[in-house]
Amino acid sequence: MFDRFLNKATELLAKGEPFATASVVRFQAPISGKPGDKAIIFADGKMWGWIGGGCAQPVVIKEALKALADGKPRLVRISPTAAAEDGIVDYTMTCHSGGTLDIYIEPVLSKPHILIFGRSPIAQTLARLGKTIGYRISAVAPGSDREQFPDVDLLQTDSNFGEPNLDKLRIARETFIVVSTQGEGDEEALEQAARSSATYVAFVASKVKAQKVLEHLREAGVPAERVSQIRAPAGLDIHAASPEEIAVSILAEIINLKGAGAKAVAEPKKSAPTALNLPVLSQPGLALPVLTQPPPNEARDPVCGMFVKVSGAKYKSAHKGSDIYFCCAGCKQTFDHQPEKYTLSMST
């Protein structure tokens, strides 16, 4: 099993896909999970592997997705009795097994991806600097060659800015797009960037030039809200002048936003003619309390206390005109035998 686990993790790393690993590090019988059991949780919430029974899996998936969002590992304890302890995310669940599981969850995040449009000196310098610090670098640069972009992971030279091969570029929300065309297809390149799913789009240009190109995007039908999110001029305002200094200012901005999290990304850029107004995806450093109320579209299993997704729930019972949802058949059976016992606890 361990070799299959390593092979799967290696496969995901090669694809650049983020995932989280979950490992059982301690157990207290009776329970099905044992130390050494491992699983991989994908970014879409699916699980591969084994860490225990039905009650444990939804908890592990929930905490794994949180780990992928804030980039921090955590130790999760699932037990029938509450036992708050520093450094442990505690879930109190009275499942039928009655045992305890300690599960270590660690996120494995993909390398930051910078996508550069253009072959300008700034574009070439930014590619070199980004590669030096271990980022994944792609470039769409018609008319260029490997001598100009020797170390990039992907270089497209045979397509114009209006028709890049987007499938190979693998653009995601976390991709940092920098348009540094400087007179060679500015409008086409920036429109492609603006219509992508990337949260960060920056344009290397003067304020006057940027305003003209941004107005072109509005006339071309790019939503005004999306246009307002484009950072132009690109980079931190550090009075950069040379191509090398400008490239440094852009990379510094990307590092700053990546390190500070989306809260910093949402802050308007004072020197830019347009404000970047992006949603807060996570706030690193904040404690993650154990939820006492179910989040939207979820319900609490009254028997074990676990949260269950309402849509597509496999186990549910009707009681006094209301639907009650369960994590497993055992919890449903227990409730059906003594519904009054559990509905009373739900109301208190």
- DSSP secondary structure letters along 34-96: -TT-EEEEETTS-EEE-SSSTTHHHHHHHHHHHHHHH---EEEEEESS----TTEEEEE---T
Angle at CA of residue 213, ends 211 and 218, nearest 5°? 90
At 166 the pLDDT is 64
In Å, how far are 122, 138, 173, 292 from 183, measured between CA atoms? Answer: 13, 20, 27, 56
Residue 164: per-residue pLDDT: 59
Q: What is the pLDDT of residue 267?
A: 46
Looking at the structure, tell me whether residues 122 and 143 fall in a common domain.
yes
The answer to whether residues 261 and 119 belong to one domain is yes
Shared-domain flag, residues 84 and 42: yes
Q: What pLDDT, on a 0 to 100 scale, did the predictor assign at position 163? A: 64
Domain membership of residue 13 (yes or no) is yes
The two structure tokens encoding residue 99: 């045992």
Look at residue 275 and tell me if it is in a domain.
no
- Whole-angstrom CA distances from 63 to 34, 77, 230, 234, 304 are 19, 11, 33, 36, 18
Q: How many domains is the chain partitioned into structurally? A: 3
Is the same domain home to 88 and 164? no
Is 272 among the domain residues? no
- Asked which of 109, 137, 167 is the last residue of a domain, the reply is 109
Same domain, yes or no, for 143 and 64? Answer: no
Interatomic CA distance for residues 127 and 178, integer angstroms: 10
Contacts 24+ apart (CB under 8 A), 4-11: 5/38, 5/40, 5/49, 8/40, 8/48, 8/49, 9/40, 9/108
Neighbours of 317 (CB within 10 A): 16
Q: Please check whether residues 79 and 133 belong to one and the same domain.
A: no
When computed from its CA atoms, the radius of gyration of the chain, rounded to whole angstroms, is 25
Tell me, yes or no, whether 216 lies in a domain. yes
Domain boundary among 86, 109, 132: 109
Instruction: Please give the C-alpha separations between residue 90 and each of 75, 84, 278, 309, in angstroms, as whole numbers.
Output: 9, 7, 32, 20
Domain assignment present for residue 251? The answer is yes
Q: Is the domain of 76 the same as that of 136? A: no
- The verdict on 330 and 189 lying in the same domain is no
Out of 92, 109, 126, pick the residue that ends a domain: 109
Pair 94, 39 in one domain: yes
Do 125 and 249 lie in one domain? The reply is yes
Task: Look at residue 249 in the predicted model and tell me its pLDDT.
Answer: 96
Q: Are residues 339 and 242 part of one domain?
A: no
CA distances from 99 to 29, 105, 322, 346 (A): 5, 19, 31, 23
Q: 306 lies in a domain?
A: yes
Q: What is the pTM of this model?
A: 0.61
278 in a structural domain: no
Taking the chain, what is the end-to-end CA distance rounded to the nearest angstrom? 45
Residues 132 and 72 placed together within one structural domain of the fold? no
User: pLDDT 10s per residue in the chain (348 long)?
Assistant: 678 999 999 998 877 788 999 999 998 876 677 889 999 999 999 999 988 767 788 899 999 999 998 889 999 998 887 677 788 888 877 665 667 889 999 999 888 899 999 999 999 999 999 999 999 999 999 989 999 999 899 999 876 676 656 667 778 888 999 999 988 889 999 999 999 889 899 999 988 899 999 999 999 999 999 999 999 999 999 999 999 999 999 999 999 988 765 444 444 444 433 333 333 333 333 233 333 444 567 888 888 777 788 888 888 999 888 999 887 777 888 889 888 888 765 554
Q: Which domain holds residue 219?
A: 113-265
Task: Indicate which CATH number applies to the domain containing 209.
Answer: 3.40.50.720
Query: At which residue do the structure tokens 């550090």 appear?
Result: 238
Question: Are residues 109 and 70 in contact, defined by beta-carbon separation less than 8 angstroms?
Answer: no
Q: Is residue 274 part of a domain?
A: no
